[in-house]
C-alpha cells in the first residue's frame, strides 16, 4: 500500500471527473459515429444490377427493360424499380439509355410519336431524341439522355448507375 494518502476532496474530485468523462463520452460517441459512419460505409455506386433481359434477345430495336433492386435508407428498406431502353448498335454493342427526359424529368418512349417513329419522344412538351439519345435541336431537351453502363453475365444483362451519355459527340 502507498504511503501517500488521498484526501477526501481529492477522491471526490477524481471520482466526479471520471464519472463526468464517461458521461461526456457516452453522449459524444453517438454524435461522432453519426458524423463518421457515412464516410466509412462502402458505396454500392459501382455495383451492377441484374435485369431479366437476356442479351441474346436484344436487337437493333430499343426495348423497355424494367429492373428492381432493394434499397436501404437508414432503417428503411424498400424495393426500387427503374427502367432503361436497351438495344444493340451496328457494332453489336449493347446501348442502355435512361428514359428520363432532360427537360423536366418526364418519361420518354421509343416511337411514341406517330410522326417520328424512329425517335424517343417525351409526351410532356414534345421533346425528341435520336436513337443514340442525342437531343434534337428545336425541341425542349437541352442535353442527351443519360446512359447506363452494361455488363453481361451468364447471358443476362446487368446495368450500372446512370452516367452522362458517351455516345453523343
| Low pLDDT (below 50) residues in the chain | none
Rounded alpha-carbon distances, angstroms, from residue 41 to 16, 74, 83? 37, 12, 27
What pLDDT score does 26 carry?
92
Helix, strand, coil % in the chain, rounded to nearest 5 = 20, 35, 45
* CA pair distance 33, 22, nearest whole angstrom: 16
What pLDDT score does 1 carry?
59
What pLDDT score does 19 carry?
95
What pLDDT score does 112 carry?
79
What pLDDT score does 63 carry?
93
C-alpha cell at 129: 431524341
Amino acid at each position: 500500500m502507498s504511503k501517500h494518502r488521498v484526501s477526501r476532496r481529492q477522491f471526490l474530485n477524481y471520482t466526479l471527473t471520471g464519472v463526468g468523462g464517461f458521461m461526456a463520452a457516452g453522449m459524444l460517441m453517438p454524435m461522432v459515429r453519426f458524423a463518421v459512419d457515412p464516410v466509412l460505409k462502402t458505396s454500392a455506386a459501382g455495383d451492377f444490377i441484374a435485369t431479366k433481359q437476356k442479351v441474346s434477345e436484344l436487337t437493333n430495336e430499343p426495348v423497355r427493360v424494367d429492373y428492381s433492386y432493394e434499397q436501404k435508407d437508414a432503417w428503411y428498406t424498400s424495393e426500387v424499380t427503374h427502367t432503361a431502353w436497351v438495344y444493340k448498335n451496328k457494332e453489336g454493342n449493347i446501348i442502355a439509355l435512361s428514359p428520363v427526359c432532360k427537360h423536366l424529368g418526364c418519361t420518354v418512349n421509343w416511337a411514341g410519336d406517330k410522326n417520328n417513329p424512329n425517335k424517343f419522344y417525351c409526351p410532356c412538351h414534345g421533346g425528341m431524341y435520336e436513337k443514340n439519345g442525342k437531343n434534337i435541336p428545336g425541341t425542349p431537351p437541352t442535353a442527351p439522355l443519360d446512359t447506363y453502363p452494361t455488363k453481361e453475365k451468364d447471358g443476362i444483362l446487368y446495368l450500372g448507375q446512370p452516367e452522362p451519355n458517351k455516345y453523343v459527340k
